[in-house]
Amino acid sequence: MEYLLIRKNLLRNRKRTALTVVGVAISIFLFCGLLTIITVMNNLLKDAENSSVLGVRNFYSWVEGTIPVTYVERVKQVPGVQTVCPLNFLTSYIDVGKPNLFGLAADPVTVREIFPEFKEIPETAYQDFMRERTGALMGKEKMETFGWKVGDLVTLRGASVPIDIPIKITGVIPYGGLADNFVIHRDYFEELNPDKGNINFILLRVGSGHTPAEMIQTIDQTFQRDAIKIKTETVKTVLLALIGQIDNLQILIIVIAAIILVSSLLLAANSIAMSVRGRRRELAVLQTIGYTPRRILILVLGESLVTVLIGGIIGSVTAYVVLYYVGLNLPLGPQSYFNMPWQTLIEALLICAVVGVLSGLVPALGSVRMVLADALRRVG
Amino acid sequence: MAIPIKYNLRNLAVRKVSTLMVIAGVALVVVIFVSIMAVVDGLDRIYQTSGEPDNVIVLRKGASDTVMSALAPDVLQQVRTLPEVATDETGEQLISQEMDINISLPSRSSQGNQFVVVRGVDPIALKVHQRVRVISGAGPQQGNRIMIGNGVAASLGNLQLGDRIQFGQSTWTIGGIFEAPGTVFGSEIWADRRDLMLDARREQISYLVMKLRDRSAVTQVARRLTDDKRIAVRALSEQAYLIRAEAESLLSQLSLLGVLLAIFMAISGGLGGMNLMYTAVSARTREIGMLFAMGFSKSSVLFSFLLELLIVTISGGVLGALIALLAGAFSMTLSVGGRVVSFSPHVAFTTLVEGLLIAIVIGVLGGVLPALAAAKVKVVDALRAF
């Protein structure tokens, strides 16, 4: 019965309902985009928390510090270390004035064990990558920026190294932290690079039965007496350092998201309030046919809930589809590429339900007051 | 003849809750737009003022930032022959050979580590970077005596002169503290260039910064060096470098975000306004009929209804702009290109004007259709409603 009335009432002023639904949909669309940014950042940390991947770097510095390649074997010898992947970082460019490309020269076999997103690359493409000496996995973002296809031959001109590196794109990194980067074979890079025998980073996976904390200690101790000092870190430490500095921006995003919600709340509340105001006489009729104030309250709340939910579903599903196909590219600390997780979609819908009830509250209470006032008048 | 504004104001006052809600909605749109733009402008401003207008920076060709750059010695020789380079009172050319590295140090906020740029310099650097002022102690000296920025001194936990910090293969003593107001350098550590190169096992410097006699020569000198086939370098003004290397992508993405948010929220706000006015028109059909009967023209009714929403949205715009002015009172810390930058958002006058324009656009977009509907009301129908 209530449902029927809610439907009738909403369809009575179609123009108003449509305007409100579209307005709410737009707000929720924006809200989902912002919520995605926050969620992806938090998920990154949560994943890192459970990650069994550790990084070994030069104690001294970060991107440009090197450690001897001989350390790789010694890290492998440490009991509890499972997969070991030596890396070199390199910055390159295609042409002056075009965006730079930052990538990794890595061991193609073990790198797959470290980055979970590589499992999503089709097996045949990955086999091609492993077989081709000059093979490269290119991030989805960079493929789009430069308009490349799989199979293209490209020459990377080194900015951090004085060499040109001809590569063949054999696969695409679909998402994740490396979607804006590339990966090439370290052997091939080593052959071209005049600075032989040095790497920037060793990534390793901790075997079961060992905790990351104890492994960090063991590895650091192993190299304690060496001339070139190293530091072992969890992925989370690295991320925290990167995220910690964009804290402020995250706060700004949260504030904006909240403001957007409030504005959609205002929009819906106003629309329902206007519709209720025009129905004063009807509310009195409802009461005479036996509607209690409570039922009238539910009626109005339901009206706003339905309006906001329809708008919310349109907005959040659109956001999901748009972010899935187009993606959001914003360089924020460790992440520059955002896809909307389905959990965010559910969250957004739940939040819409709350907004729907809240925005109906003022007009609903108003209508109850109206009904009561009329009742009193009748008694008098 | 125009319908008096008082008519609109009274009508708005009658529906004060609805009116206030739309005002608040528009104010929120303007707040969001103005505050994002204030962040962009504040960041842009500190980068604009960081580079000195008569400084040219020379990097390796293709290097996007100083950390990734390495210069061969012949570049220095080539640069020394340029007649445009300024000299100090002793006749020494103001060319600073520098080397940058990024390190991560434990920060005070216990949230793990913080990235810090360490710049290896010779004493001449203080003459090239004139905005950097030693406020206590001395500049960087050989023997691992470093000078730290007041920003980094604070964020790493109140470091004082004489304190020692550990990075790289060595322990470094703080021999000086500097400030560089209005620039992004306050979050750097400066060390003696030879010490730092030795410690990092580097043989080549990262880049050169030189001061020219005449700032108008900057573009031309930079182009000449970049086009010089004998040396593979990229030269550009220090200002352009700092913005391009570190802030540009963040700035452009943030302003894009601001504009997109403003457009979408304005549409949503416009729909709210439209709702308000459609309801007003249908509730006041009789009044409109009266207005026509009194001899007001269609266009004055149309204008009156449009004006009514404009009054609402412009009040919202003004309110939003006033609230957003507060953004300038906060200070922000952001990591931009591996560097921690502290700045205050800057609310520019043009941004406020743009914010008001958004409010007006919302009013016009939301108001036109309902106003047309009002103008189309037929006198006979309206009066029949009595």
Q: Tokens at residue A130, please?
A: 């492993």
On whether the CB atoms of residues B175 and B132 are closer than 8 A, the answer is no
B70 vs B98: CA distance, rounded Å: 10
B38 vs B317: CA distance, rounded Å: 16
Domain carrying residue B237: 51-245
Tell whether B17 and B116 lie within a shared domain: no
Q: Is residue A196 helix, strand or coil?
A: coil
Tell whether B318 and B236 lie within a shared domain: no
Tell whether B223 and B311 lie within a shared domain: no
Using CB atoms, which residue from B35, B36, B250 is nearest to A331? B250
B205 vs B194: CA distance, rounded Å: 10
End residue of a domain, out of B215, B245, B275:
B245
Q: Taking 70 as the threshold, does the pLDDT of residue B386 lie above it?
A: no
* pLDDT for residue A10: 81
* In chain A, % of residues over pLDDT 70: 90
A39: nearest Cα among A347, A361, A349: A347
Q: Compute the average pLDDT of residues B45-49.
A: 87
Tell whether B327 and B190 lie within a shared domain: no
Using CB atoms, which residue from A24, A227, A266 is nearest to B21? A266
Residues 6+ apart with CB under 8 A from B293: B379, B383
* pLDDT for residue A243: 60
CB contact under 8 A, A91 and B64: yes
On whether the CB atoms of residues A104 and A88 are closer than 8 A, the answer is yes
A5 vs B323: CA distance, rounded Å: 41
B25 vs B10: CA distance, rounded Å: 21
Q: Taking 90 as the threshold, does the pLDDT of residue A159 lie above it?
A: no
Question: For testing the chain B interface, which of A31, A262, A270 should be mutated: the one with the most B CBs within 10 Å?
Answer: A270
Give me the DSSP letters along A289-336: TT--HHHHHHHHHHHHHHHHHHHHHHHHHHHHHHHHHT-EEEEETTEE
Using CB atoms, which residue from A19, A59, A278 is nearest to B271? A19
On whether the CB atoms of residues A55 and A233 are closer than 8 A, the answer is yes
* In chain A, % of residues over pLDDT 90: 28
Question: Is A324 in CB contact (< 8 Å) with chain B?
Answer: no
| Range scoring the smallest mean pLDDT among A145-154, A171-180, A212-221, B265-274 | A171-180
Question: For testing the chain B interface, which of A61, A234, A367 should be mutated: the one with the most B CBs within 10 Å?
Answer: A61
Q: Compute the average pLDDT of residues A319-338.
A: 72
Chain B residues lying within 8 Å of A15, measured CB to CB: 278
End residue of a domain, out of B245, B276, B301:
B245
Tell whether B210 and B258 lie within a shared domain: no
Tell whether B24 and B89 lie within a shared domain: no
| Range scoring the smallest mean pLDDT among B116-125, B173-182, B328-337 | B328-337
Q: Please list the residues that pair with B188 across neighbouring strands.
A: B117
Q: Compute the average pLDDT of residues A82-111.
A: 85
Residue-wise pLDDT tens digits, A172-205: 988 776 778 899 999 999 999 888 888 888 989 8
Distance from CA of A122 to the nearest CA of B (A): 32
Tell whether B32 and B147 lie within a shared domain: no
CB contact under 8 A, B264 and A30: yes
CB contact under 8 A, A271 and B261: no
Question: For testing the chain B interface, which of A10, A21, A60 should be mutated: the one with the most B CBs within 10 Å?
Answer: A60
| Range scoring the smallest mean pLDDT among A150-154, A247-251, A354-358 | A247-251
ipTM of the modeled complex: 0.75
- State the total domains in chain B: 2
Residues 6+ apart with CB under 8 A from A337: A140, A141, A175, A179, A180, A327, A328, A329
Chain B residues lying within 8 Å of A331, measured CB to CB: 249-250, 253
The b-or-e profile of B233-252 (16+ CB within 10 A means b, else e) is bbbbbbbbbbbbbbbbbbbe
Domains of chain A by residue range = 2-46+245-379, 60-228
CB contact under 8 A, A248 and B113: no
**Could you tell me the pLDDT band of residue A331, with boundaries at 50, 70 and 90?**
low
Question: For testing the chain B interface, which of A160, A163, A200 should be mutated: the one with the most B CBs within 10 Å?
Answer: A160
Q: Which long-range contacts (CB under 8 A, 24 or more apart) does A176-179 make?
A: A176/A115, A176/A116, A176/A117, A177/A44, A177/A115, A177/A117, A177/A334, A177/A335, A178/A104, A178/A115, A178/A117, A178/A139, A179/A117, A179/A139, A179/A140, A179/A141, A179/A337
Question: Is A41 in CB contact (< 8 Å) with chain B?
Answer: no
Q: Compute the average pLDDT of residues B90-106.
A: 87
Using CB atoms, which residue from A62, A100, A330 is nearest to B253? A330
Residue-wise pLDDT tens digits, B246-269: 777 778 878 888 898 899 999 999
* pLDDT for residue B108: 66
B103 vs B113: CA distance, rounded Å: 9
* pLDDT for residue B138: 92
* pLDDT for residue A242: 61
A17 vs A304: CA distance, rounded Å: 10
- Angle at CA of residue B231, ends B227 and B236, nearest 5°: 50
A75: nearest Cα among A225, A234, A237, A216: A216
Q: Taking 90 as the threshold, does the pLDDT of residue A317 lie above it?
A: yes
Q: Is residue B135 helix, strand or coil?
A: strand
Q: What residue in A sits closest to B72 (Cα-Cα)?
A: A162
Q: Taking 80 as the threshold, does the pLDDT of residue B11 lie above it?
A: yes
Q: What residue in A sits closest to B27 (Cα-Cα)?
A: A263
Using CB atoms, which residue from A240, A262, A273 is nearest to B111? A240
A243 vs A241: CA distance, rounded Å: 6
B94 vs A329: CA distance, rounded Å: 41
Residue-wise pLDDT tens digits, A167-179: 999 999 887 767 7
Tell whether B373 and B268 lie within a shared domain: yes
Residue-wise pLDDT tens digits, B128-162: 999 999 999 999 999 999 999 988 888 787 888 99
Q: Model pTM greater than 0.80?
A: no
Question: Is A229 in CB contact (< 8 Å) with chain B?
Answer: yes
Tell whether B357 and B313 lie within a shared domain: yes
Q: Taking 80 as the threshold, does the pLDDT of residue A152 lie above it?
A: yes
Distance from CA of A125 to the nearest CA of B (A): 30
Question: Is A10 in CB contact (< 8 Å) with chain B?
Answer: no
* pLDDT for residue A380: 43
Question: For testing the chain B interface, which of A233, A245, A246 should be mutated: the one with the most B CBs within 10 Å?
Answer: A245
Tell whether B293 and B334 lie within a shared domain: yes
Q: Compute the average pLDDT of residues A33-42.
A: 86
Tell whether B65 and B204 lie within a shared domain: yes
B365: nearest Cα among B260, B289, B277, B299: B277
* pLDDT for residue A183: 93
Question: In this predicted model, which residue has the larger pLDDT, A101 or A61?
Answer: A101
Q: Taking 70 as the threshold, does the pLDDT of residue A5 lie above it?
A: yes
End residue of a domain, out of B245, B267, B298:
B245
A261 vs A254: CA distance, rounded Å: 11
Residue B227 parent element (H or E): helix B218-227
* pLDDT for residue B4: 86
* pLDDT for residue B266: 92
Q: Tokens at residue A262, please?
A: 């409030």
Q: What is the mean pLDDT of chain A?
A: 84
Residue-wise pLDDT tens digits, B14-29: 888 889 989 999 999 9
CB contact under 8 A, A15 and B21: no
Cβ pairs bridging A and B (under 8 Å): 180
Report phi then psi at A283, rounded to 5: -60, -40
Residue-wise pLDDT tens digits, B293-332: 888 999 999 999 999 999 999 999 999 999 999 888 888 8
**Could you tell me the pLDDT band of residue B245, with boundaries at 50, 70 and 90?**
confident
* pLDDT for residue B339: 72
Q: Is residue A366 helix, strand or coil?
A: helix
Using CB atoms, which residue from A159, A270, A329 is nearest to B60? A159
The 10 Å Cβ neighbour count of residue A316 is 25
Q: Taking 90 as the threshold, does the pLDDT of residue B194 lie above it?
A: yes
Question: Is A207 in CB contact (< 8 Å) with chain B?
Answer: no
Q: What is the mean pLDDT of chain B?
A: 87
CB contact under 8 A, A329 and B253: yes
B123 vs A227: CA distance, rounded Å: 30
CB contact under 8 A, B112 and A240: yes
A110 vs A84: CA distance, rounded Å: 7
Residue B119 parent element (H or E): strand B113-121
Tell whether B183 and B278 lie within a shared domain: no
A87 vs A58: CA distance, rounded Å: 12
Q: Please list the residues that pair with B170 across neighbouring strands.
A: B167
B32: nearest Cα among B334, B255, B362, B251: B255
Give the position of tokens 């979607």. A179
Q: What residue in B sits closest to A61 (Cα-Cα)?
A: B103
Distance from CA of A194 to the nearest CA of B (A): 14
On whether the CB atoms of residues A319 and A378 are closer than 8 A, the answer is no
